[in-house]
Copies of this chain bind each other. A is one copy, B any other.
Amino acid sequence: MELFEKHEERLKRARAAIRIREYWSAHAESPRAYGDEAPQLGESAFQDRIGRPFALNQPESGWGSGGESSPYGSDLGVTYPVASLEQLITAAETALATWGTASVEDRTGVCLEILERLGENVFEMAHAVMQTTGQPFLMAFQSGGPQALDRGLEAVAHTYAVLDRIPGDTKRWEKPQGRRDSLRIDKQWRVRPRGIAVSIAGSTLPTLNSYPGIFASLVAGNPVIVKPHPATILPLAIFVETARMVLKEAGHDPNTVLLAVDTAEAPIARNLVMSRGVGVVDYTGGSDFGEWLEHNVHHARVFTAKSAVNSVVLDSATDLKAVIRELAVSLTMYSGQMGTSPQNVFIPASGIEVDGTPASFGEVAAGLTEAIDRLLADAQRAGDILGAIKGPATRDTIAAASSYGDVLLESRQILHPSFPESLVLTPVIVKVGADDRHVFMKEMFGPVIYVIATADTDESLDLAGDTAAEVGALNWLVYTTNEDVESRAIDAAIAAGVSVFFNLPGGLYVNEPAAFSDFHGTGANPAGNSSFTDTSFVADRFRVVGVNVSAT
């Protein structure tokens, strides 16, 4: 309760924010906001992790490094405690007994304290995210720290808000019986966690995409077994360490949060989610395993965020250069390795109208190609935008994409001035036709951009809609000056279950999260069955049991 009171104002503000949904953030996005010493302290803390065992004082039967390596070329050499499934489940079951019966306020206070501690250590997390995912530093700082923490706080506020609708005290229920005495019952509604929560994280945005589910589960009373992607463990190990420290200090079982380390060769996710007592599964990753979870895990509530193929629809603009400047960044940021990255750019074959005059398809495509080429001409700047390539299969993906159509811009390898060992690749831009559906209706994870010539904007919207329906999509970025087109695009986006952005200006990118305002994912197409963070994402992480005592 002490921690709840400590953070009550922040919780109130966050609860207001998710209702108002205007801009609000609890964690500064600018590294400068954290004082002069923080950057150096954070980097040192990160360096101290390298080449060492990462002690968590949790159950273990050995040590391993998963399959972690840095896309920037450094040898991380961190080893983690590796626990058997039985050890993990037994420890989580024990934690459930006390965490699951702690008060909602107690659990919420602990979660808010965890967020605060993580917020004091954003630079170490930034380096950990950067070095494990290949994100450029500023993005790693923002996505790994403030943006992830905002999403975590949003989930805490949302879960608390839903729980707060259920009376926490005893209520007298008194039913009139005409002239006879009323019937009287003293009622309580006891919140019951669903069980052990398993959070299966992805390799490229480990904290941002996992915090919502983890924090929602914790507030709801479910202990969480965090299973990072075997190639990206360190960021979530730091989270687990912080969470366990706060839990312990607050007198709770630190095994309420556990780390599960596996390898690509011997993955444990299937057996883990099928283990006894598992009641919630959160998943970020490819569609194949996500669908397996959706179809096979009936004993637990499964929340998925899977593959997405996002579309840009160019219809008309007042300032083509501004549009292209914006697109050049959105399309190249972190080499397309985010679920929110656009992949397909639909342009009418007859061109688009720019401030009343026509611009041909060729002009627009060439403008975009040149802008991207120019943006990435300088190696340092290219590294700051592209980051490094995480997935080893990315070269194959680029090669495949290049074979499907006319290559407008070849992918180049860039020598990163600061990380010469890293793999930095500029995107390939490939022109394909509107009938090449089998080509562009497929997630090409990494720096692949398809430019697709369509009959008109209606066909562009149809193809974007079919893509969303068949393989999933998180967002569309539409440029139009035509109100009819805007209206049709809105209808199409709602039908497709895709968030739509119109005429985004420079400086704001469709790839970026906006916690407390946007819903990330709609749950209405194959990109996932849930949304960060709507009511349904949190409300099914607990159940309510009525306790009724006669007072007659």
Q: List residues of chain A with CB under 8 Å of any chain B CB.
A: 18-23, 30, 161-162, 165-167, 171-178, 180, 183, 185, 187, 189-190, 192, 194, 294-295, 298, 486, 490, 493-495, 497-505, 507-508, 514, 517-519, 522-524, 531, 534-536, 539-540, 543-550, 552
Contacts and interface: CB of A to CB of B under 8 A. Distances in A.
A220 to B, nearest CB: 11
B536 A540 contact: yes
Contact of A508 (B185, B190, B519): B185
A500 B190 CA distance: 11
A469 to B, nearest CB: 11
A308 to B, nearest CB: 14
A519 B494 contact: no
A189 B21 contact: yes
Copies per complex of this chain: 2
Contact of A502 (B172, B176, B548): B548
A344 B527 CA distance: 46
Given A500-B546, A519-B544, A552-B505, A23 B536 contact: no
Nearest to A30: B178
Contact of A500 (B166, B545, B552): B545
The majority secondary structure among interface residues of chain A is mixed
A500 to B, nearest CB: 6
Contacts of A162: 535
Contacts of A173: 21-23, 514, 517
A494 B544 CA distance: 8
Contacts of A549: 486, 501-503
B494 A192 contact: yes
A534 B172 CA distance: 20
Contact of A524 (B174, B177, B194, B517): B194
B298 A490 contact: no
A544 to B, nearest CB: 5
Given A519-B544, A519-B546, 14 more contacts: A18-B165, A23-B174, A23-B176, A183-B507, A187-B517, A189-B519, A294-B298, A295-B298, A503-B550, A508-B550, A508-B552, A518-B546, A536-B539, A536-B540
A545 B491 CA distance: 10
Given A507-B177, A524-B194, A167 B20 contact: yes
A497 B299 CA distance: 14
Contacts of A189: 21, 519
Contacts of A550: 501-505, 508
A194 B534 CA distance: 15
Contacts of A540: 536, 539-540
| Most B C-beta atoms less than 10 A away, residue of A175, A498, A539, A546 | A546
B172 A507 contact: no
A522 B22 contact: no
A500 B548 contact: yes
Contacts of A187: 21, 517-518
23 contacts: A20-B167, A20-B171, A22-B172, A23-B176, A171-B517, A173-B517, A175-B508, A175-B514, A183-B508, A187-B518, A190-B490, A192-B494, A192-B495, A192-B522, A493-B545, A498-B545, A502-B549, A504-B548, A505-B552, A524-B545, A534-B543, A535-B539, A536-B539
A160 to B, nearest CB: 13
Contacts of A500: 545-548
B174 A548 contact: no
B295 A21 contact: no
A548 B494 contact: no
Contacts of A552: 505, 508
A173 B486 CA distance: 19
Given A493-B547, A497-B545, A549-B503, A22 B171 contact: yes
A189 to B, nearest CB: 7
A279 to B, nearest CB: 9
Nearest to A296: B295
Contacts of A298: 294-295
Contacts of A508: 175, 183, 185, 550, 552
Given A23-B174, A508-B175, A548-B502, A543 B514 contact: no
Contacts of A517: 171, 173, 187
A93 to B, nearest CB: 12
Contacts of A166: 21
A172 to B, nearest CB: 7
A391 B495 CA distance: 43
Contacts of A495: 192
Nearest to A495: B192
A544 B524 CA distance: 8
A494 to B, nearest CB: 5
Nearest to A543: B524
Contact of A494 (B20, B194, B545): B545
B19 A165 contact: yes
B548 A544 contact: no
A150 to B, nearest CB: 12
Contacts of A161: 165
Contact of A544 (B183, B194, B531): B531
B175 A499 contact: no
